[in-house]
Structure 1
């Protein structure tokens, strides 16, 4: 059984605004937008590279993009990780500042 996401975020670039990103998808998207490889994103977030790949596969259509090259532009204007309540303040990524976007 899959756990339901604790929060959802409206996606940009879809026109309808109906598509949503889970908190996990948003974390993966932010890390990938920084230019990290799937393996690097996986290590950073404590996931498998395959899980990162699946998150990216599912979030691209939600953002209306076809590849990771469009991630940075698609995430422009979203709240920064530092002000985003979906990232637990005690998480390793939050403490280290690893997930900040440019």
Structure 2
């Protein structure tokens, strides 16, 4: 059986990122780390955050975990997350 033949696409629209506001609840930690201004806010409000998430077993999950998801493990507390969200909102939307 031969593979099906598909005609070429008539038009291609490249995907684009939709701008969004960063937050401690739905933005992955790895994304926050990739934005220097955002990570500076996190480190200011939660001193030693790099040490707290430096565990090898946790490193593989930083693309999925948000700061709020670490509440159940006691890595962070709710009060700093509120302050972080206010400051991240001030950064505006990022693509």
Length-normalised TM-score, structure 2: 0.31
Quick one: higher RCO (CA 8 Å, sep 6+), 1 or 2?
A: 2
Length-normalised TM-score, structure 1: 0.30
